[in-house]
Structure 1
Amino acid sequence: MQSGTCRPWRRGRGLAGGVLRAVLAAAVAAPGFAADPGLRGPGGRQFAPEVADAPARLAFRVAKVVVMDDSDQVINDAVVLVREGKIEAVGAAANVKIPDGYRVLEFREHWLVPGLVDCHNHTAGSLADLNDAVYLTNPGLDTRPTIEPDSERIKLARAGGVTTVMLIPGSATNLSGFGTVSKTGGRTPEDVILRTPGSLKIAQAGNPERYFVGNGRMFMNWNTRQTLLKARAYHERWAAYERGELKQKPEFNPFFAGFRGLFRREYPTTVHTQIYQVVMTTVDMLANKLGLWTVLDHSEFDGWKTAPLVLASDVWTIQGPRAFHFDRMAARMIGNCSGWWKNGVRARLGVNTDAPVIPEEELTYQAAMGCWYGWLPYPALRGVTHVPAQALGLYERLGSIEAGKDADFGVWTGNPLDPRSACLMTVISGRIEYDGREGPRRF
């Protein structure tokens, strides 16, 4: 980051903050008042603008495009065309003509990289609603009503090149509700929600053990399984009725109605699971026996020792936020991503932040930490773009720079995994949602 970086501006709080906001609101309402389009830092310096341009026709001329497609293309001296929120064309500058009427943005020394995707986020919504620990399993809860599209936390995520997150409930209970796939650019929930339900959040071991007077793994696994079996039976009754095999219409149950898409594999279950025994249970119970589309969140400590089981299934491993642990059997520090990678889990390995545990804007640091402890840089960059987009079933829209996909990408001063690099511009759905070329960068 550049020297002299300012802390993010924060709204005033308490009585003084309320008075200040009232005075500012009155000033804005006064005739002839011109609104300041950006926030101000110390000395009156303006922070990088945050208000998005309308979707426009844009042409980016860059030094390098890391495409992140299935053939692992990297295009030097490249042009990316954006039209009506989608990527229109990408290729070498010699092969892609910029049509008339396009706004040309010159970044001749910069990298253009797909927007970063995080499968495990709690900061795209209200943290006050993170854990509604009503019952040990809470099938009726949903994060959609908690979405906060333009919060300070989301503005920082944009400044870190993050364009899509999976907002999920916390892990205070074994089954805490449905997640929401949300983009980080937009002003209303309708702007940002990409899919709802986005996933079903399940937590096995760890935090749920503290529920009420305490629970052991045996009861928690039994209770979670019973809830899912009831939900599956509900889905099967409705499916039989829809096929004409059942004459009497089943009774609607709001607790289990949302699960029907889960058993149709329209969205995954994202699972708080870690250590060998718990990851083994997750793979066996959820993926193999119940046949659910399963994403392993955390997958930490010695979870990588289940690699043979994971490779024999169709689950995805999204590791984090812990990057390493001290393995007592090996008597040394082991990188978690390195453990998975060296034991064969490669095409389906990514990382997460568990924001706010690790700030969302530091997602690339998570990948860099994985490399420090033995992972490899290019797979690590795939692990925050291509892989999580696939894990969430959104690769047809996200995760690579290809014609027809959503125009979600970041323009970086260099390799995003290099801590010296910074995201200079973030484009989401064809809108410039963050521009760090003017004023102190927000991150």
Structure 2
Amino acid sequence: MSTAVTGGYVVPVDGDPIEGGTVLVEGGRIVAVGPEADVDVPDDAEIVDASGTWVLPGFIESHGHVGVYEEGDGWAGNDVNEMTDPNGARLRALDAINPDDEGFRDALSGGVTTVVVKPGSGNPIGGQTVAVKSWGRTVEDMLVREPVSVKSAMGENPKRVYGDQQKLPSTRLGVAAVIRDAFVKAQDYREAREWATREGKPFERDNTREVLARVLDGELPWCQHSHRADDIATAIRLSEEFGYKLIVNHGTEGHLIADTLAAKEIPVIIGPLIVGRSKVEVRRRHMRNAGILARAGVEIALTTDHPVVPIDYLVHQATFAVKEGLDSETALRAITMNPARIMGIGDRVGTLRAGLDADLVLWSGDPLDVMSRAVRVFVGGREVYHFDESTGLGVTSNPFYQE
């Protein structure tokens, strides 16, 4: 059965907008996007009238803790940080996600259909990240890709956590040492594994070092929590020492070394932006940072770091960044195609293009207009959210009670 979303102002993001465009969906995937006259809609297709709306791909939160840091559940729903081992590379965010977290429903109301869920920043090496859809009964139902990257943290958080325990690392140099030691051991492990394979010898596997070996092999990027410019510089130093792909997360002072980041082609997931200066390392937080980085040639994505900022405010961060100098085209890309490309899931989500997942959001107007709202949301071609004009409330389809 096909579904045709017709008559809307279609914004593919990676191409020119189409007035009165059509998006044709079959089997949960987009099969065609274009002007109405150019898309052959089957006679039996279900028609979704998008007249008067803007049709965009679902937004992507590239650094969130939805499902692992449940809202309103206190300690019982807080599984974001395993703060008992500085090297948690073997840990997986996948194993702690609760699909029934209220944050996923909030995500849909804000047009966010994909979330890269990451462990927190309490450990120098926090664990493996996962990309999931914002709707589903189980993580397997929601899964886009796993693992997507490995989360690591520098700066105040890990030094505070382990300093309070009177153990390594309690300083920035200790944090860097933990990361460096872990990669040296992973290098030795990889060589021993290769030797055992060549010689046909038994080999005892180690889940932590297996993951770090994948980082060294270029299979998994390294998502480095770092706010201050000196921490970002240390992150770059370590990545070049061991040759892995670095993604700067937060990058609050990234604008101070924007030329370096651009020259080295290191992307930055910047944010959260709608927050106060709660600690020393974020004292230079400002909405204009995103624009400075983008103009320098750095590929950027925006993050709410949910629940630090509610995930449904992702688009508002883009709006405020535009107000402070980020161009609107880059702002939209920073919550769609850029995070998809940075996190290696651009073959599934991020734009309206044939072959990609049919994650579509119909907006009442330009989503960068603070008065616009998501009125209908589709994940994999299924409508999972709509705004009820009669009540003024959003209605989310319950994945746990489907016919």
Q: TM-score range by the shorter chain?
A: 0.7 to 0.9
CA distance in 2 between partners of 1:238 and 1:271 (Å): 27
Matched with 2:85 is 135
**For the Cα contact (< 8 Å) 2:269–2:302, is it kept in 1?**
yes
CA distance in 1 between partners of 2:142 and 2:59 (Å): 15
| 1:420–1:256 distance in 2 versus 1, CA, 3 Å | same
Matched with 1:103 is 46
| 1:240–1:81 distance in 2 versus 1, CA, 3 Å | farther
- Letter of the 1:134 partner, please give it: T
Task: Determine if the alignment matches structure 1 residue 303 to structure 2 residue 254.
Answer: yes
Task: Determine if the alignment matches structure 1 residue 370 to structure 2 residue 321.
Answer: yes
For residue 181 of structure 1, report the CA deviation from its aligned partner: 1.1
Per the normalisation by structure 1, the TM-score is 0.80
Map 1:53-202 to 2 at 5 A: 56-69=1-14, 72-127=15-70, 128-202=78-152
| 1:354–1:324 distance in 2 versus 1, CA, 3 Å | closer
| 1:78–1:334 distance in 2 versus 1, CA, 3 Å | closer
Per the normalisation by structure 2, the TM-score is 0.88
| 1:101–1:305 distance in 2 versus 1, CA, 3 Å | same
The CA deviation string for residues 39-98 of structure 1, in whole angstroms up to 9 with x for no partner, is xxxxxxxxxxxxxxxxx52110133111122xx321111010110010011110121132
SS state of the match for residue 173, structure 1? Answer: coil
The CA deviation string for residues 157-193 of structure 1, in whole angstroms up to 9 with x for no partner, is 0111101111111111111111111111211121012
For residue 332 of structure 1, report the CA deviation from its aligned partner: 12
SS state of the match for residue 129, structure 2? Answer: strand
Shift >3 Å, 4+ stretches? 239-242, 323-326, 331-334
Q: In the alignment, which of 382, 394, 408 is matched to residue 345 of structure 2?
A: 394
Gaps of 5+ in 2: 71-77, 165-169, 278-283, 396-403
- Letter of the 2:254 partner, please give it: G
- Letter of the 2:181 partner, please give it: Q
For residue 234 of structure 1, report the CA deviation from its aligned partner: 2.0
CA distance in 2 between partners of 1:324 and 1:145 (Å): 29
| 1:77–1:332 distance in 2 versus 1, CA, 3 Å | closer
For residue 315 of structure 1, report the CA deviation from its aligned partner: 2.0
Task: Determine if the alignment matches structure 1 residue 250 to structure 2 residue 200.
Answer: no
The CA deviation string for residues 220-257 of structure 1, in whole angstroms up to 9 with x for no partner, is 11111111221233234334555x3x442332112222
Q: In the alignment, which of 244, 250, 256 is matched to residue 292 of structure 1?
A: 244
| 1:207–1:79 distance in 2 versus 1, CA, 3 Å | same
Matched with 2:188 is 233
CA distance in 2 between partners of 1:84 and 1:360 (Å): 28
For residue 125 of structure 1, report the CA deviation from its aligned partner: 2.8
**For the Cα contact (< 8 Å) 2:54–2:362, is it kept in 1?**
yes
Count of aligned positions? 377
**For the Cα contact (< 8 Å) 1:324–1:335, is it kept in 2?**
no
For residue 333 of structure 1, report the CA deviation from its aligned partner: 6.5
**For the Cα contact (< 8 Å) 2:130–2:148, is it kept in 1?**
yes
- Letter of the 1:59 partner, please give it: A
**For the Cα contact (< 8 Å) 1:205–1:273, is it kept in 2?**
yes
CA distance in 2 between partners of 1:189 and 1:343 (Å): 38
| 1:325–1:213 distance in 2 versus 1, CA, 3 Å | closer
CA distance in 2 between partners of 1:187 and 1:173 (Å): 30
SS state of the match for residue 163, structure 2? Answer: coil
- Letter of the 1:321 partner, please give it: P
Gaps of 5+ in 1: 1-55
**Once the two structures are aligned, what percentage of the paired residues are identical?**
29
SS state of the match for residue 272, structure 1? Answer: strand
The CA deviation string for residues 133-177 of structure 1, in whole angstroms up to 9 with x for no partner, is 002222222111111223221011011110111111111111111
- Letter of the 1:122 partner, please give it: H
Matched with 1:217 is 172
